[in-house]
Amino acid sequence: MKKEILIIVFLLYSLMIHQDKPLFTKFYYQIKEIQKPDSFDVLVNKNNCLSPTYIPKDLEIVNTKVAYDQKFLRHEAKEAFEKLSLDALELGYHIVCVSAYRDYDYQKDLYQYYVDSKGLEYADQCSARPGHSEHQTGLSLDVMGSNMDYNLFLHSVEYDWMHKNAHKYGFILRYPKGKEHITGFKFEPWHYRYVGKKLSTYLYENHLTLEEYKK
Ligand SMILES: [Zn+2]
């Protein structure tokens, strides 16, 4: 009986990995270096990495009215986020940027901190290896709401507003619930990515991740 179960599991596994479109992605495998890092639809993930020397040329400081301390985003993403946050504020929602552009070396230290303190498996679920973080594009940011903790953003009144409106400003919720096997990251309610209004609206309306779109 046990043997039969093992055979079935093996056959199912073989079926999953040998078809043209596998049901799950093998992460940190056959990694490609990104050729057009400046494009707004750039796909940075566990299988596509940025060069250690890549620094966006148009980084600008985000208005400190809507950011915690000094945060940098690329010009277009910065303008879009400031508009989003100020529009939200008029409606009584406080959406503040707590993390934005992070360079290669910063990510290297951050990832290593998780590996040292929590182990490799945990680190890979919640932090990207250096070169594999979207934060290096200058197009990604983490936000917090009026409950003042990005880890608790899901439980803030701002989460719902952000979820329904971010695409109108060019942003997508980058690591949604239920798509962990595609993005390689656990659900991150606080992490948004700028892709431009046309693409963000398309992805939002079709419930697609950037991975599914770029496939
Ligand atoms: Zn993030």
Q: Which neighbouring-strand residues pair with 67?
A: 97
- For residue 23, the CA-to-ligand 1 centroid distance in Å is 25
Q: Which residue has the higher pLDDT, 192 or 14?
A: 192
The pLDDT of residue 20 is: 42
CA 67/CA 140 separation, integer angstroms:
13
CA 56/CA 197 separation, integer angstroms:
20
- For residue 22, the CA-to-ligand 1 centroid distance in Å is 27
Tens of pLDDT, residue by residue over 50-74, are 999 999 999 999 999 999 999 999 9
For the entire predicted model, the pTM comes to 0.88
The pLDDT of residue 75 is: 98
Tens of pLDDT, residue by residue over 81-127, are 999 999 999 999 999 999 999 999 999 999 999 999 999 999 998 89
**Nearest to residue 38, comparing CAs of 62, 53, 54?**
54
- For residue 174, the CA-to-ligand 1 centroid distance in Å is 9
CATH number, domain at 49?
A: 3.30.1380.10
- Domains in the chain, number: 1
Quick one: which H or E segment has residue 187? Answer: none
The pLDDT of residue 126 is: 86
Q: Which band of pLDDT confidence, cut at 50, 70 and 90, is reported for residue 15?
A: very low
- For residue 99, the CA-to-ligand 1 centroid distance in Å is 7
- For residue 141, the CA-to-ligand 1 centroid distance in Å is 6
CA 200/CA 202 separation, integer angstroms:
5
**Catalytic residue ranges:** 188
- Segments forming the whole domain that contains residue 185: 2-214
